[in-house]
């Protein structure tokens, strides 16, 4: 069935209620590899509520949009891939909150029958208690089996370019064989990340890690390597996913620093494959 372009562009929801707890904040941190060393005090602040104030990773905002990519948009959901994620963090996320979320489909580009359709989603989250803005997010999703529906073919946005020089620093973080099963508990229950038969049918040798998990691992690496685990310093975090990560892979994050802009990209050490490109992290002045 062809996508209903006009109906999808009118797909907007306002003040969607969403609640997350301290337990979910700790789950998110654990699912991107925090506290693998359970004695590391910098990481324990993200995974243990007994400290003075539980911290939340800035990239947790990427999982605080309810039903971010609905399965019922008319696309073939088993062939849907998350390609890019963008975040603006207006203030540090509280460890638990009641939110109101606005979300919409901002654009859909028809790449052609054999290339798919590119969806651009936008969302913003605010505190339900006083309407304080917490974050804005943008997601780009490729529906690989849904091109040729007659939609617009606008130019794709140009990504951030990492510097041509050697990285200024790097951080290697392992993933676990069960990490996709853990990360999906943050809300993205796409069976592509859990069901071996479905992953095989979609062209993968086994279930793959969520792009947003790799995105969170990159944030973890930057907090550990550059920011001494200070989550309040990150105000923007953007990246493009370029190749799947298999649970159990080791992710190396290469980092370049130019003033308050950190450029980064991630590669899988075992296969020497770049899995995340065009990373940009803007720091608070």
Residue 188 annotated to the active site: yes
Residue 15 annotated to the active site: no
- Catalytic-role residue among 82, 109, 193, 210: 193
Q: What are phi and psi of 241, to 5 degrees?
A: -85, 130
In whole angstroms, give the CA distance from residue 206 to residue 25: 28
Alpha carbon distances (Å) from 209 to 18, 97, 178, 182, 204? 25, 27, 9, 10, 11
Eight-state DSSP code of residue 228: T
Q: Are 97 and 130 in contact (CB under 8 A)?
A: no
- Catalytic-role residue among 146, 188, 238, 249: 188
Strand order in the sheet with 116-127: 12-20, 97-112, 116-127, 133-143, 80-89, 234-241, 273-283, 261-268, 250-258, 169-174
Residues tagged active-site: 188, 193
């Amino acid at each position: 069935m062809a996508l209903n372009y006009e109906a999808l562009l009118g797909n907007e929801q306002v003040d969607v209620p969403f609640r997350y707890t301290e337990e979910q904040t700790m789950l998110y941190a654990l699912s991107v590899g925090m506290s693998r060393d359970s004695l590391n005090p910098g990481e324990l602040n993200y995974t243990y509520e007994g400290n003075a104030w539980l911290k939340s990773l800035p990239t947790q905002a990427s999982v605080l949009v309810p039903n971010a990519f609905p399965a019922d948009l008319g696309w073939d959901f088993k062939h849907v891939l998350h390609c890019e994620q963008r975040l603006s963090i207006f203030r540090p996320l509280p460890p638990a909150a009641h939110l109101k979320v606005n979300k919409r489909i901002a654009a859909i580009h028809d790449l052609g029958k054999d290339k798919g359709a590119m969806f651009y989603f936008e969302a913003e989250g605010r505190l339900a208690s006083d309407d304080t803005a917490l974050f804005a997010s943008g997601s780009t999703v490729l529906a690989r089996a849904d091109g040729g529906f007659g939609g617009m073919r606008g130019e794709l946005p140009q990504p951030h370019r990492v510097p041509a020089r050697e990285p200024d620093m790097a951080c290697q973080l392992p993933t676990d064989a069960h990490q996709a099963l853990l990360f999906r508990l943050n809300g993205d229950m796409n069976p592509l990340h859990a069901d071996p038969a479905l992953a095989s049918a979609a062209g993968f040798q086994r279930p793959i890690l969520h792009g947003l998990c790799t995105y969170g691992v990159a944030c973890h690496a930057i907090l550990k390597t550059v920011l001494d685990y200070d989550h309040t310093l990150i105000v923007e975090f953007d990246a493009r996913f370029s190749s799947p990560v298999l649970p159990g892979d080791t992710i190396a994050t290469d980092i370049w620093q130019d003033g308050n802009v950190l450029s980064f990209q991630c590669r899988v050490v075992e296969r020497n494959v770049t899995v995340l490109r065009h990373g940009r992290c803007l720091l608070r002045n």
